[in-house]
Amino acid sequence: MNDVKLIKGADIVGRGRADVLVRGGRVAEVGTPSAVGAEVIDADGLVLLPGLVDLHTHLREPGREDAETVLTGTRAAAKGGYTAVCAMANSYPVADTAGVVEQVATLGRAAGYADVQPIGAVSVGLAGERLAEIGAMADSAAHVRMFSDDGHCVHDPRLMRRALEYVKTFDGLIAQHAEEPRLTEGAQMNEGAVSAELGLPGWPAVAEESVIARDVLLAEYVGGHVHFCHISTARSVEIIREAKARGVRVTAEVCPHHLLLTDEKAHTYDPVYKVNPPLRSGADVAALRAALAEGVVDAVATDHAPHAPQDKDCEWSAARPGMLGLETALSITVAALGGPGGADWDLVAERTSRTPARIAGLSAHGRDPEPGTEANFTLVDPAETWTVVPTELASLSQNTPYAGMELPVTVQATFLRGRATVLDGKVAEEIK
Ligand code: NCD
């Protein structure tokens, strides 16, 4: 393998057309470098983005390796243009100890396709009763800064307060799955006209919004950082906007599917559209798109939730919530943010890479190429489209809601510390 690469002629986001010389995993020069003997990668017509960073990935290992593993999940990440993913804590066993988070980080390093930053659980076993060993996870070799009971809401206000106070001591954050459980008992989909028509129990928007409103006040009170996972409603946006205007330490992510799909999809009764929080109304989709463009919503996060066939190929009410996201997120983001003149690549880089890297504290990621920075970036063909074929995805699971859809832009190559995890649109067989 050649340690020296010359990426020629890419349109570098934020800079313009230039060549990038990579040596020893880092950017050596940007401009018109000459490098005799370098492996030359022709990037003419391609856009170079800082490698994408996902704040919310379910890798399913340990425990549900029939749905995804750290290896297959990070291969899917690389194929989607990601160089780093934050692995959610709802594994089996739960990532609520230093041992489990270190295991996940080690599996990520061994696979080599993307940096895997484990997220620790807030509460023991995600049960919402006692704080997990947050300090031990923070001090561990996995250096956990972000904690979440995702899949479950930290609904006890006292526990949430203590968690926010605790992580504040090391500048950490709590990523809240905002869902008041008493308001969503038995819920199957968004509460509204479609749920009424179909006779399915509804998950009302206020179950999310009421927790966000409470946690904004708690974060303000203790001076802690709360991050809201997968926000899905227009009113959530307004509460967060107001909180930010007051200077509360609050950040928020939105998922690609909430930027594109609506609860009308439930008419199909296809459980591939069942997700938590549920697909909402067209007005919510419009508000989330606008908030992402504006920056009230800081980042796109996939909530990549692979499920084995037996958990999805069943009736709607028995199916698990969740959908794949890593391999389609960039395309959906471009489609959702795109104006008539095509993608605003600087905005795409901001929301899918630079800002999520900052929120996760991953300082080697989300960086525009400059001499000395790690060579973590992705090359995208802005003119090519592709059709989603579930069996062709790198993920071990196939529960994508975009099957058969033609999506804009393709990932041509992804580089992690200068090594190609994806080249010519194909995932590298192995990373050595
Ligand atoms: C998540 C999963 O499958 O782990 N599913 C989802 O629909 N987002 C957990 C969850 O938030 O329910």
Query: What domains appear along the chain, each with residue ranges and CATH number?
Result: 4-47+372-427 (2.30.40.10), 61-360 (3.20.20.140)
Catalytic site includes residue 303: yes
Phi/psi at 305 (5° precision): -130, 80
Question: Using CA atoms, how far apart are residues 104 and 96, in angstroms rounded to an integer?
Answer: 12
Q: 85, 275, 302: which to mutate for ligand 1, most atoms within 8 A of CB?
A: 275
Nearest residue (CA) to ligand 1, atom 7: 322
Ligand 1 atom showing the smallest separation from residue 306 Cα: 3
Closest CA to 175 of 248, 122, 233: 122
In the β-sheet with 115-118, what is the strand arrangement from edge to edge?
52-57, 82-87, 115-118
Q: Is the dihedral of CA 315, 319, 322, 325 positive or negative?
A: negative
Ligand 1 atom showing the smallest separation from residue 320 Cα: 3
Could you tell me if 177 and 208 are in contact, meaning their C-beta atoms sit under 8 angstroms apart?
Answer: no
Phi/psi at 219 (5° precision): -60, -40
Could you tell me if 126 and 149 are in contact, meaning their C-beta atoms sit under 8 angstroms apart?
Answer: yes
| DSSP H or E run through 134 | helix 134-139
Question: Using CA atoms, how far apart are residues 322 and 229, in angstroms rounded to an integer?
Answer: 14
Catalytic residue among 298, 303, 368, 381: 303
Per-residue model confidence (pLDDT) at position 57 = 98
Q: 61, 85, 90, 324: which to mutate for ligand 1, most atoms within 8 A of CB?
A: 90
What is the CB < 6 Å shell around ligand 1? Answer: 58, 90, 150-151, 177, 275-276, 303, 305, 320-322
Per-residue pLDDT of the chain (432 residues; tens, 9 = 90+): 568 999 999 999 999 999 999 999 999 999 999 888 999 999 999 999 999 999 999 999 999 999 999 999 999 999 999 999 999 999 999 999 999 999 999 999 999 999 999 999 999 999 999 999 999 999 999 999 999 999 999 999 999 999 999 999 999 999 999 999 999 999 999 999 999 999 999 999 999 999 999 999 999 999 999 999 999 999 999 999 999 999 999 999 999 999 999 999 999 999 999 999 999 999 999 999 999 999 999 999 999 999 999 999 999 999 999 999 999 999 999 999 986 677 899 999 999 999 999 999 999 999 999 999 999 999 999 999 999 999 999 999 999 999 999 999 999 999 999 999 999 999 999 876
Contacts of 285 (CB under 8 A, 6+ apart): 258, 259, 260, 261, 262
Q: Judging by beta carbons within 10 Å of its beta carbon (0-12, 13-18, 19+), is residue 247 exposed, middle or buried?
A: exposed
Give the global pTM.
0.98
CA of 2 to the centre of ligand 1 (A): 41
Question: Using CA atoms, how far apart are residues 420 and 316, in angstroms rounded to an integer?
Answer: 40
What is the pairing mode between strands 377-387 and 47-50? antiparallel
